Chains A and B, each alone.
Chain A
Amino acid sequence: MNNTTGKRILNFIFDYKVPILFLALSVAGVLVSKQSLNFLFLELLARFGRDTFLVIALIIPVITGMGLNFSIVVGAMAAQVAVFFVTHWLQTGIPTCPAPLAFLLCVLVCTPLAILFGWLAGKLFNKIKGAEMIGGLILGYFSDGLYQFFFLFVLGGIIPIVNKTLMLATGIGVKNSVDLATNKKFTGLKYSVDNILKLPLVDCLKYLFAAVVILGIVMAILQKLKGKKLITTTYWFLLAICTIFFGLSFLPSFIEFAKILRIPVVTYLLIGGLCLFIEWLLKTRLGQNMRAVGQNRVVANSAGINVDRTRVIAIIISTVLASYGQLLYIQNLGVFTTYGAHTNVALYSIAALLVGGASVYKATVKQAIVGVLLFHTLFIVSPLAGQTLMNDAMIGEYFRVFICYGVIAMSLVMHAWKKKKEKKALNGAGDSSAVSADLLQNE
């Protein structure tokens, strides 16, 4: 008994080695940097709301076997085109439009664009099966060129833009950064979702507890009616955590500590909704097809699944979600850096997902959330940690960039290594399986 428990703990540590390593790094970083926890949580809550959507957008292609979707950049670009035009309209035609409606307008504009971009990317990936990741990376750079061409020369050069405040002095090309804050003359997109409803953290914890309890009651009733077991260990686990936080929210010292922490409720609800959507999608027929394609394209094909179509749909979904994620990101930042806002989207999102313990062939919503928390904790504390340890904040900056690249490189190496071993095992198992391995390879 004791032995198996020990084994289970060891297995647990082995399964979660990456998150555990980063947890240790983050804790060390927090301790070394002597950053106040207040500030850390403030930053973390903001960054969580800003980045999680983008990270979750990566999950579907991983499950479909297309690896880490480096081409979410094109989704971000779709969002930025929408942000530009909506800001332009807000400043010229519809200055009094309420901010949430303006955001919805962004969604309306960017959805068809993102679908188009995702479809094109999916078509390309079907031509380079097995090299989707490097293809996606290069596609990101390539479309960055097209994006710059559009924003620097087409806007104002070919498409006339009347509103000169958004343009460079010559009238051709868009300014480097556009302020999205609302002012006296017109509404801006800044905080258009975040500001719909902002509640103190303490209140949110109470509501969360109430919601979880109500969910439990509903599930218990359904359980009685349908006779199916609905309340799982996961639920009890969730309830336990919520209860602890509920209890915490009455502690005077915690209330004092959490005074400045306010939650943008709608943003968080959107993230929660997205998590449920992904979970639901994976249970549908389409989701099952995606899993099948991800596991083995040949088998999926012979089972009657249209492999190419499924892959294109996966990329379209990912691109559209990424474009929404980028909209949330930009409205939270409040400043739209025309030529820089999208450049690191793929890098940071992918690194965050991997830090959460995901890999090239497996990713879950849970990993995405854990990843965002750990990755951004490290991101917040590393410059200060570098400052205190080495007397140079730049070291911390470079260190976090190294972490981004390094964790991706490691994950890619592990993936390729494992794949090669599997192939070897197949090849070694005799002639017939060697042939099938070759078939797999050539497909």
Chain B
Amino acid sequence: MADRLKSVYQNLGLPRIIIILFFFALLISAGLLGLNVPSMFGDVLVRVGMNGVLVLAMIPSIQCGIGLNFGLSIGIIAGLLGGVTSIQLGLTGFSGFIFAIALGVFLSIPLGILYGMLLNRIKGAEMTVSTYVGFSVIALMNIFWLLIPFNSPSLIFAIGGGLRVTVDLSSFYKHILNDFLAFNINTPSGVITFPTGLYLFLALCCFLVWLFLRSKPGIAMSAAGINGKFALAAGINENKTRILGTTLSTALSAVGIIVYAQSYGFYQLYNAPLMMSFAAAAGVLIGGASVTRSKIFHVLIGTFLFQGLLVLGLPVANELMPEGNLSEVIRIIVSNGIILYALTKSQGGKNE
């Protein structure tokens, strides 16, 4: 028994155990404080669905060997471009949503390939470089959002001067997935709406990634991600599989931001996507992934725990400490703490 406990401890690591215990502590205190736990659970369901694809985007990048993709913002930018173009064209409903995704993916592929080629030249420093490349791209896009010659009134400020900071989607495709085939679950303390469409879409994405990882190129990519030299001996071109993984990750994040936005109800432009890749990285790491290995299961469990912490944390924290934004502080500490922990576990003088 002691041995089993020890192995569980070693597999999970102290930070994850703390996070899990913290999650349950929040759950119990929410119950004790008489908060509406089922409705919070409904919130968690929605937020897992809306963040899931973005977190899923970490899988190909981790598997192909570039580590956590802190340059997720490159794909996010492509997705946002697809999104604002769909609005400029006045597309609503599913056609708008699908157009946004199609254009986002279409734009993200060349960007992903370029980004992958850059990362191939700087092996060993991917995470540092990708962070700042991601930041630079966001800063460059800030200028672009100001100059882009779009004129749809939903997109631009009435007084001129570039695109809005948040673009409202309520007359376009807000909640298009959330409401698709949604059904209500009656609980003693209220009704939870299950966002069926959101989960169908997430399941589809997960299934496609799962399928890809079991396909021949997917297996080759994972093998090259573990050890480039052995893969070379097996006739796999590591550089190509890395570009493949990076591109896939970028394309998934383009899809991810559109799914996120339709659920949130807004496209957030300018500096909003700056830190999104850190949240996604924290999600997959909390689920049990490392900087070198990850599974789809990690995405689901990690997103659930992380979003659960945030959703439960807010009302519980407000109940205990009415002033200040304790839940935001918890988010900062948890998400960055888990990334730091993962770095200490995997780096260990490896990347010289």
A175–B279 alpha-carbon span in the complex (Å): 28
B3 at the interface (CB under 8 A from A): no
**B343 and A402 form a contact (CB under 8 A):** no
B88: chain A residues within 8 A (beta carbon) = none
Q: List 19 A-B contacts (CB under 8 A).
A: A138-B339, A142-B336, A142-B337, A145-B333, A146-B333, A152-B325, A170-B322, A172-B323, A394-B162, A406-B136, A408-B136, A409-B136, A413-B121, A415-B125, A416-B129, A417-B122, A419-B125, A442-B349, A443-B352
Counting from the closest, the 7 A-B pairs by CB-CB distance are A145-B332, A416-B122, A145-B333, A402-B139, A416-B125, A142-B336, A409-B132
Option from B162, B321, B348, B351 in Cβ contact (under 8 Å) with A153: B321
A131–B128 alpha-carbon span in the complex (Å): 8
Interface membership of chain B positions 206-230, coded 1 if the CB is closer than 8 angstroms to chain A and 0 otherwise: 0000000000000000000000000
A173: chain B residues within 8 A (beta carbon) = 323-324
Interface residues on A, range: 35 or more
Option from A168, A390, A398, A442 in Cβ contact (under 8 Å) with B142: A398
B161 at the interface (CB under 8 A from A): yes
A83–B330 alpha-carbon span in the complex (Å): 25
B333: chain A residues within 8 A (beta carbon) = 142, 145-146, 149
**A129 and B349 form a contact (CB under 8 A):** yes
Interface membership of chain A positions 119-132, coded 1 if the CB is closer than 8 angstroms to chain B and 0 otherwise: 00000100111110
Q: Which of A127, A168, A409, A419 has the most CB atoms of chain B within a 10 A radius of its CB? A: A409
**B136 and A135 form a contact (CB under 8 A):** no
B150 to chain A, nearest CB (A): 16
Total chain B interface residues with beta-carbon distance under 8 A: 49
A333 at the interface (CB under 8 A from B): no
B132: chain A residues within 8 A (beta carbon) = 405, 408-409, 412
B129: chain A residues within 8 A (beta carbon) = 409, 412-413, 416
B140 at the interface (CB under 8 A from A): yes
Option from B125, B343, B349, B350 in Cβ contact (under 8 Å) with A135: B343
Option from A133, A142, A395, A441 in Cβ contact (under 8 Å) with B128: A133
A402–B137 alpha-carbon span in the complex (Å): 8
A312–B73 alpha-carbon span in the complex (Å): 33
Interface membership of chain B positions 120-143, coded 1 if the CB is closer than 8 angstroms to chain A and 0 otherwise: 011111011101110110111011
B340 at the interface (CB under 8 A from A): yes
Known interface pairs A398-B146, A412-B129; A153-B352 also in contact (CB < 8 Å):
no
A247 at the interface (CB under 8 A from B): no
Tally A-B pairs: CB < 8 A: 157
Interface of A is mostly: helix
A420: chain B residues within 8 A (beta carbon) = 121-124
B304 at the interface (CB under 8 A from A): no
Q: Which of B70, B146, B323, B339 has the most CB atoms of chain A within a 10 A radius of its CB? A: B323
B344: chain A residues within 8 A (beta carbon) = 124, 127-128, 135
A390–B330 alpha-carbon span in the complex (Å): 41
Known interface pairs A141-B278, A405-B132, A412-B125; A398-B143 also in contact (CB < 8 Å):
yes
**B121 and A392 form a contact (CB under 8 A):** no
Option from B118, B122, B136, B162 in Cβ contact (under 8 Å) with A402: B136
B142: chain A residues within 8 A (beta carbon) = 398, 401-402
**A131 and B351 form a contact (CB under 8 A):** yes
Interface membership of chain B positions 67-105, coded 1 if the CB is closer than 8 angstroms to chain A and 0 otherwise: 000100000000000000000000000000000000000
B138 to chain A, nearest CB (A): 8
B332: chain A residues within 8 A (beta carbon) = 141-142, 144-145, 148
B136: chain A residues within 8 A (beta carbon) = 402, 405-406, 408-409
**In the complex, which residues 389-443 of chain A have their Cβ closer than 8 Å to any Cβ of chain B?**
390, 392, 394-395, 398-399, 401-402, 404-406, 408-409, 412-413, 415-417, 419-420, 423, 440-443
A134 at the interface (CB under 8 A from B): yes
A112 at the interface (CB under 8 A from B): no
**B329 and A148 form a contact (CB under 8 A):** yes
A358 to chain B, nearest CB (A): 16
A380 at the interface (CB under 8 A from B): no
B135: chain A residues within 8 A (beta carbon) = 405, 408-409
A139 at the interface (CB under 8 A from B): yes
**In the complex, which residues 298-352 of chain B have their Cβ closer than 8 Å to any Cβ of chain A?**
321-326, 328-333, 336-337, 339-340, 343-344, 347-352
**A157 and B128 form a contact (CB under 8 A):** no
Option from B125, B162, B340 in Cβ contact (under 8 Å) with A124: B340
A420–B321 alpha-carbon span in the complex (Å): 51
